[in-house]
Chain A
Amino acid sequence: MNFARIGSALALAAFVAAPFALPTAANAQANEQFIPSLSYRTGPFGPNGTPFADGFLDYFKMINARDGGINGVRITYEECETAYNTDRGVECYERLKAKGPTGATAIVPLSTGITYALIERTAQDKIPMLTSGYGRSDGSDGRVFPWMFTLPATYHSQMDAILQFVKSKEKGSLKGKKISFIYHDSAFGKEPLPVIQRLAKEEGFELSEFPVPNPGVEQKAIWLRIGRQIRPNYVIMWGWGVMNPTAIQEAAAVGFPRDKFIGVWWAGSEQDVTPPGDAAKGYMAANFHGTGKDYKFMRDIEATVIKAGQGTGEARHVGTVLYNRGAINAAMVVEAVRTAQERYGNKPMTGEQVRWGFENLNLSPQRLAAMGFEGFMPPLRTSCADHEGGGVVRIQQWDGKAWNWVSEWIEPNRAALRQGYEASSMQYAREKNITPRDCANQS
């Protein structure tokens, strides 16, 4: 064996050993709060995952730049690419969960599939999981899912609110009306089915369901049936990624009116309505926060992060729906940490302490004003039993250039939804041998 070979063998050995030799020794005592970001900038859902991940990180950068962290505790973060792939998501979670002085603060998976895979892991590792506007709806029952937070609203709440909106448009009655429901054929798309099926019975409308296979580019046959045969009064869609612009284009192709077509809040971003162009005019979608840059915290992000050249992604994404949604997710994590600090002191919080923060989160109008969120989102308040926090839903419409509100904030009918959550969470508890917590004696 000659020297060149020995050299290359050594280089290879160093290369192989590098990832194994990384454990975090340096920041053992640092005054830092580590927050992982499971993002997807590649793969079929990359165009949607990118602005979300940018907004998520930019908010932390803004908190660090403007306030010097959360009460003096600087936020650190690391991104890991999941490509919207469940097994890669699990790998990312395992890779990042123990980093930083106190481990991962909270997990924001941004994928219903990854959420399901992490439910047990997060409970075992004592890391709260924030599934804001996706994931398991019955996760709102904090007695069975202590580590899961669904604030501000679940798919069940959202479906209820959308149907309330449709009902108000149909002069207060859905009796005899026809509604078609198009959904991504996965855990994500199927989640609201129990609610729309129940309301179809209660309200007396005729429901037709159309599952769309992943990733959702084949919808011709579905839209021919909808546009030519069924001719429903409204179409509701649970779509994500490429499925959404495809649906809008197909709706235009069969002449289905776009102002009778409402998407889930994952089908209501600029990425969904820009490709179809004019065909998307009049299309509506749900949302739980404002769009645009006209909010105090957005001006702070612009001033301290974007103008300073520290923006994570392209500046054109700033202020778009998904960017703002990334920011609101980040803000909820930050506020949970802040709440936890009120009880445990201004130092890096552990997962367990942040969980307490999430459970006692009170985003009152005063608190929202202090965060710079005035007019961006309505107040929220969580409790031990209610991990959803009573968020509200609003419908927006695309006018060809921007999203405009076309409804007031709609309060989902939580009493009926709660029954559904509890029935489903109790079934889960039975299957998993979980004894629900008694919320009466939780501090």
Chain B
Amino acid sequence: MLYREAGQFKTSYSADQGIFPILQDRIGMAIILAVAFVAVPMVASDYFLSTIFIPFLVFSVAAIGLNILTGYCGQLSLGTGGFMACGAYAAYKFATAFPELNIVIVFLLSGGISAAVGVVFGVPSLRIKGFYLAVATLASQFFLIWLFTKVPWFVNYSPSGVISAPPRAVFGWYVTGIEATAEAKYLFCLTFVAVLALVAKNLVRGRIGRAWMAIRDMDIAAEIIGIRPLQTKLLAFAVSSFYCGVAGALWAFIYTSSVEALAFDINRSFQILFMIIIGGLGSILGAFLGAAFIVLLPIFLSAVPQAMGVPVTTSTLAHLEFMIFGGLIVFFLIVEPHGLARLWQLGKEKLRLWPFPH
């Protein structure tokens, strides 16, 4: 009843090709943005900002990155952790070597470094496919982590091998370091995420994204209609690694503010792969939903019994959390094998007909 596009006429091609062709979607998006930018920092406590919203945003960027590569271009990758580490360490090197450099530029540069590294490790994708490629990308995961623990230059010869973010400000507001407030960090993160998500959405809707999807669906057919696999695949690796690199830099600088290479081990790669599988392959919204599911649900599950006053020991709680979390993953994948994004899409279609389904 409320969600219906009847009567909304498009009079130009650009209106017809907008990201959100339906008015209600545009309103919804504006509300979400307003809530995220204004209401959340005003209402949420430090705890929610710095341990729930910020990691959610950081993981969303990484998941968008992997979704571009795996969901849109069909190249299975297990190197996400490695590319994130690459971004984190590149950002640290840039920030300490050029203290005057604006932190935004530092992050973009570190994304660029990751993109370059991603292209190098993407080369095997031209010959091998599917699970074999996943194994080949494992090389990047292990090699990069090994590199960052082995070469002391990357950590400015700190004996512990831990990098920690130097204090930096944007427009006079500290966003990293000890003086940065949770609100400033959150808003900085959110701005990055909003811009990067918009860019990603437009990339995948355009010529480049269609080329990626053609490669994903059948690479020989794509080649015959004139899509060059070399450039297309490597571009996907570059863009994906850029996103992962920025996510790694955000992780190291904004979220934990100090990081060792172990934080980006193979488990991180799996975690992000699970995010896009549960959230929905080939969907930007899916990256957000998957990140929310994987990051927020465990915290939520561990907080519920205590908040409701149920006396359980922490170890029982930790095991319960694993069981419920595992059960929910199985449940959601049975209910909707295409991920939470598909569930949302189906919901939207039902909503269009509601309350008269026939």
Contact = CB atoms under 8 A, between A and B. Distances in A.
Contacts of A194: 159
A40 to B, nearest CB: 9
B165 to A, nearest CB: 8
Contacts of B313: 79
A187 interface: yes
A23 to B, nearest CB: 8
Contact of A120 (B46, B156, B178, B304): B178
A50 B318 CA distance: 13
Contact of B303 (A19, A39, A46, A116): A19
A117 B258 contact: yes
Contacts of B52: 91
B232 interface: no
Interface residues of A, number: 48
B356 to A, nearest CB: 15
Interface residues of B, number: 44
Interface in A26-85: 39, 41-42, 46, 50, 53, 78-81, 83
B160 A191 contact: yes
A368 interface: no
A41 B259 CA distance: 23
A83 B313 CA distance: 14
A227 interface: no
Q: Is the interface of A mostly helix, strand, loop or mixed?
A: helix
Given A83-B318, A94-B47, A424-B159, A211 B149 contact: yes
Interface in B167-201: 167, 177-179
A308 interface: no
A22 interface: yes
Q: Is the interface of B mostly helix, strand, loop or mixed?
A: helix
Contacts of A355: none
Question: Among the interface residues A19, A83, A121, A211, which one has the most CB atoms of the partner chain B within 10 A?
Answer: A19
A81 B313 CA distance: 10
B350 interface: no
Interface stretch (B211-219, B260-268, B275-283): B260-268
Interface of B: 46-47, 50-52, 55, 96, 149, 156, 158-162, 164, 166-167, 177-179, 255-260, 262-263, 265, 299-300, 302-304, 306-308, 313-315, 317-319, 322
Interface of A: 15, 18-19, 21-22, 39, 41-42, 46, 50, 53, 78-81, 83, 86-87, 90-91, 94-95, 97-98, 112-113, 116-117, 119-121, 123-124, 136, 185-187, 190-191, 193-194, 211, 214, 424, 427, 431-433
